[in-house]
Chains A and B, each alone.
Chain A
Amino acid sequence: MVKTSTILSISIGILLIIGGVWVGQNVDLLPVDASTNAPVYDELFKVLFSIGTILFVGITGLVIYSLIKFRRRPGDSGDGQPIEGNLPLEIFWTAVPAIVILFVGIYSYDIYDRMGGMQPLSNNAHNHHEMSTQQRLWGGIGSGSVSSSTPGEEEPIPIEVTAMQFAFLFHYPKGDIISGELHVPTGHPITMRMESKDVIHAFWVPEFRLKQDVIPGQPTILNFTPTKPGRYPIICAELCGPYHGGMRSTVVVEGMDEYQEWFNKNSKTVETTA
């Protein structure tokens, strides 16, 4: 008797884990991935989804099973067994979540590092003359200077972002272009310095899996490398007033040639090497 029930519960546990991992691997809840950041994010999402599914289905299953199995039968007014605790069991369900949390923490640290979150803030990539040295820079994910990481890599394109109620403005210092739409070439690193003119806004591109607040008085930095051509929404994600919901723009990710064409057409300076 005891044996069959242990075998049964172990096999249910294994099935649950396999099922959870399968669901996590096959779930498709995210929009397309269009930056180097996004596939890394999706990896983390899958792992978290698997763990979450296993825990949720497991605990929900236990609750529903208990409610059915241990429901009071009519006419029975007795008490249940007076079990007040079970030390090994309690140690077990302290240790398991602790290990899971530790694993998730270390894993997401790794993900964070791969996204460039742990690189020291550096502003090499920006035009020095524009910034007073005292001004503190705040970083978003991927805020480490892209150029300093691997020598020989392409020089990132600097863009200055200004947010205001209720629009984003993109300034390309190289060609002195001011645009309401963000144009970026595929596969090329971008480094954005963002500041708000009035209240806090946030720059969010769901397809890039990136978000960074745009703050008045404190410039923030966001670096990314787009990977898939297309037009993606830029969404303001911080309540900024009555038209917050309408504060949107578009990022156009295009091939280098198309980007150059757009750049040359709008550039106010003659020299145009991006």
Chain B
Amino acid sequence: MTIAIPPDRNDSSKSLQPKGWLKYFSFSLDHKVIGIQYLVCGFIFYLIGGGLASAIRIELTSPLSDFMARDVYNQVLTLHGTIMIFLWIVPVVNGAFGNYLIPFYVGARDMAFPRLNAVAFWLIPPAGLMLISSYFITGAAQSGWTAYPPLSISTPAAGQIIWILSVLLLGGSSIFGGINFIATIIKLRRPGLKLLQLPMYCWAMLGTSILVVLSTPVLAGTLILLSFDIVAHTGFFNPTLGGNVIVYQHLFWFYSHPAVYIMVLPAFGLVSEIIPVHCRKPLFGYITMVYSIMAIVLLGLVVWAHHMFTSGTPPWMRLFFTIATAFIAVPTGIKFFNWVATLWGGKISLNSAILFSCGFIINFVLGGITGVALAQVPFDVHVHDTYFVVAHFHYIVYGGSVFVIFSSIYHWYPKFTGKLLNEKLGQLHFLLTFIGFNLCFAPQHWLGLNGMPRRVAEYDPQFQLINQISSVGALIMAISTIPFLWNVVYSAIRGPKSGDNPWRALTPEWLTSSPPPVENWIGEAPLVTQPYGYGTHRNENEDLSSNEAGNVREQS
């Protein structure tokens, strides 16, 4: 059953919302405002997390622990990981773009539960502030983002408890968001719009939200038990009281492996929206893409113990998790071949959006290859918990998700603001990011293979040169944010007008004005059954849109 929403719900609270830029600081119920709130808030945390990363890379320019105290180093490391995952990537690839785009894609005027949506966002800033302020008040948690007991039980309790509380809040936010996305995609579709006509990002968000709803509660339960061990001296995970530390690892990774897909499946969805527009070609293999997403969701739930190959797991378990993990590469591979096939024979505009998307493909393929290698038990026992793993997952989360976030900002900025970004600055940003990123992380594969463990402030002097090269890469990455920040701020104020549809895109969010009106469309939502109909059914869609408020304007 699908419900069409009448244009005006006479929602009295809506008229009480502040207007103009003030609305971004309010408890707004507008999914677009909430989306931007997620994005900007996430980006601020990204800058903080990036500052912490720079501190780590400065410490590692010399083999001695000389830049900060050892326990401070571990705090910085823990904060960096936690912020980047829970306050930047997860909220932005899900919350920001999901909120902004999903209602457009299903032809709705808002999310299914607008108030829950606002609550989900407003849990994030206090959780983040709490986490960061713990550093100044009591000292932050220092047991890594994985918080393995008994280390997390024996390090100072206050910081660890604050860490648990803020991760619980963020997990709650994520669950609220997930429920909302599932309800919106399943129930709020415009009449006449079938599931298999939805843009790919909807499928990605449906799959991701299923993962969120199934796995995040397990993390919450686990962290609550851990907090009991810390404050009430229970013995769930405390070996001196008969607890079992391995059980924690199983429970933690039951969430945290799916979490890596929570960070990357939405990114897959976003890329699937961006590439067809700038290649002027339909998305290749729509149906196989949908099946791949669902296969990744299913397999993603049964691979967690590949993070525990050296924890003393029995041989049959190692074997099972090796096979399950390696097979994720098959549906993932299909998606990559389909994107390349979408590029093939297109008319590709070499702009910042497509450059970041293609940078994503290249980086992620490398991260996926090292992932399949890591899934092989005999390979993993050497490189587990070394810089090789650090390189692997940064190729995935930075080279993958972060590149896609930038690509998406270049692609949807005109939608958000009605202004165009400066293309030259965008390309400079891409070049610096791509070079800096690879210079920073590629050498870390070698470090891991040759004996540098992760999460250390001091290391064997033979690794100094390579660490310094890596730090230079990090410096270039830090510099690369300057043209980006300048570009988004300056263009918002002074940028040229973009018109409603500068990319001549066919997906529904472009078939209204830019920025869109409060309830997304004046009049009824258009029925877009061919979101990727480039080269074929263009006329149909153009007719459709010209009936609506948003005219498709041609831009040079």
Residues of A within 8 A of B (CB): 29-31, 40-41, 44-45, 48, 51-52, 55-56, 59-60, 62-63, 66-67, 70-73, 76-86, 89-90, 93-94, 97-98, 101, 104-105, 108-109, 111-112, 115, 117-118, 121, 138-141, 198-200, 202, 204, 206, 209-213, 215-218, 220, 233, 235-246
Contact = CB atoms under 8 A, between A and B. Distances in A.
Contacts of B283: 84
Query: Interface of chain A, helix or strand or loop or mixed?
Result: mixed
Contacts of A80: 279-281, 345-347, 534-535
A111 B55 CA distance: 40
B274 to A, nearest CB: 14
A40 B378 CA distance: 9
B70 A101 contact: no
Nearest to B279: A80
A94 B291 CA distance: 12
Given A56-B365, A108-B379, A89 B348 contact: no
B486 to A, nearest CB: 26
Contacts of A71: 347-350
Contact of A199 (B151, B314, B372): B151
A111 to B, nearest CB: 5
A117 B365 CA distance: 30
Contacts of B144: 239
Contacts of A48: 372-373, 376, 379
A109 B155 CA distance: 39
A91 to B, nearest CB: 9
A76 B286 contact: no
B525 to A, nearest CB: 24
7 contacts: A63-B362, A72-B347, A83-B345, A101-B329, A112-B319, A211-B384, A244-B453
A239 to B, nearest CB: 4
A108 B378 contact: yes
Nearest to B153: A199
B20 interface: no
B280 A206 contact: no
A94 B281 contact: no
B8 interface: no
A235 B533 contact: no
Interface centre among B323, B373, B446, B453, by most chain A C-beta atoms within 10 angstroms, is B453
Contact of A66 (B240, B280, B327, B340): B340
Interface centre among A51, A52, A242, by most chain B C-beta atoms within 10 angstroms, is A242
A59 B340 contact: yes
B78 to A, nearest CB: 9
A85 B287 contact: yes
Interface in B436-479: 445-446, 449-451, 453-460
B244 interface: yes
A71 B350 CA distance: 7
B326 A237 contact: no
A62 B340 CA distance: 7
B379 A41 contact: yes
Interface string B335-346: 011101101111
Given A198-B154, A204-B453, A239-B143, 12 more contacts: A31-B449, A41-B378, A80-B347, A84-B284, A84-B286, A85-B286, A97-B329, A109-B322, A111-B378, A211-B382, A212-B312, A245-B455
A60 to B, nearest CB: 5
A12 B323 CA distance: 31
Nearest to A57: B365
A215 B246 contact: yes
Interface in B371-388: 372-373, 376-379, 381-382, 384-386
A199 B378 CA distance: 25
A212 B313 CA distance: 10
A79 to B, nearest CB: 4
Given A30-B449, A210-B382, A239-B144, A140 B310 contact: yes
Contacts of B336: 59
Nearest to B554: A77
A76 B329 CA distance: 37
Nearest to B75: A242
Contacts of B453: 204, 235-237, 244-245
A242 B154 CA distance: 12
B343 A59 contact: no
B239 to A, nearest CB: 3
B42 interface: no
Contacts of A55: 365, 369
A44 B334 contact: no
B285 interface: yes
B385 A217 contact: no
Nearest to A55: B369
A216 B150 contact: yes
Contacts of B369: 51-52, 55-56
Contacts of B334: 90, 93-94, 97
Nearest to B143: A239
A72 B455 CA distance: 46
B450 A206 contact: yes
Interface string B236-260: 0001100111100000000000000
A61 B54 CA distance: 32
B366 A56 contact: yes
B33 interface: no
Interface string B5-35: 0000000000000000000000000000000
Contact of B284 (A85, A94, A210, A233): A85
Nearest to B373: A48
A241 B155 contact: yes
A45 B382 CA distance: 11
A264 to B, nearest CB: 32
Contact of B279 (A70, A85, A213): A70
B326 A66 contact: no
A244 B385 contact: no
Nearest to A40: B378
Contacts of A41: 378-379, 382
A168 to B, nearest CB: 14
Interface centre among A52, A101, A140, by most chain B C-beta atoms within 10 angstroms, is A101
Contacts of B345: 70, 80-81, 83
Contacts of B155: 241
Contact of A44 (B244, B311, B358, B379): B379
